Amino acid sequence: PQGELFDYFSLAFEIYRGLRRLGQSVDILSPDQAAARLDEYSIVMVPGLFACPPALASAMVTTSARVIFGPRSASKTKAFQIPPNLPPDLPADIMPGRVTRVETLAEGLTVPLSASGHFHIWREFVEADVAAEIRFETADGFPAIIRRGKVDYLCGWPDGTCLETILSG
């Protein structure tokens, strides 16, 4: 089935483990807590937030923190629909691009990044906004990480090496 291996908890847990391997302290916050406290952090990881509440979206526009969205973030509305303008459903001021297609990767199949590391389990094909910068690409030439201002969007499920690349970039 489509996305059989994709599990939001597993994605969040893998990113948590990767951050801890890098020696990072990690606070886990609800979207409401994060909306009120974004500026307390230099980096905010949003591994796979299904829908982005309005308060959090507004806070992200003005925060001084670097915000890194994982794959499938803001991919649905609170009514479980695909956003009318395609995911991620974020304010126009910080929208790094639009997800136009997704792909489930079979177990053991990976998509190498041109820098280092790879995506596994899930990848997205994203059209970068004209105001966004493509930070890294996949080896086959598609955006892997795009940035607009302080907001990064990760276009796939990262392995540990990919996560290190993201955090160092």
pLDDT in tens, 33-86: 999 999 999 999 999 888 999 999 999 999 999 999 999 999 999 899 999 999
Give me the amino acid identity at 43: I
3: phi then psi, degrees, rounded to nearest 5: 70, 25
Predicted pLDDT at 82: 93
Give me the amino acid identity at 132: A
Helix axes 160-168, 8-21, angle to 10 degrees: 60
Structure tokens at 164: 């290190």
User: Residue 84: how many CB atoms within 10 A of its CB?
Assistant: 7
Using pLDDT thresholds of 50, 70 and 90, give the confidence band for residue 169.
low
Structure tokens at 34: 């994060």
How do residues 128-166 score in pLDDT, each as one tens digit? 999 999 999 999 999 999 999 999 999 999 999 998 888
8-state DSSP, 39: G
Using pLDDT thresholds of 50, 70 and 90, give the confidence band for residue 15.
very high
Predicted pLDDT at 37: 95
pLDDT > 70? residue 2? no
Predicted pLDDT at 57: 94
Is residue 105 helix, strand or coil? coil
pTM (predicted TM-score)? 0.93
How do residues 80-137 score in pLDDT, each as one tens digit? 999 999 999 999 999 999 999 999 999 899 999 998 899 999 999 999 999 999 999 9
Interatomic CA distance for residues 93 and 109, integer angstroms: 35
Predicted pLDDT at 22: 87
Phi-psi category of residue 91: left, alpha or beta, with phi > 0 → left and psi -120 to 50 → alpha? beta
Predicted pLDDT at 167: 81
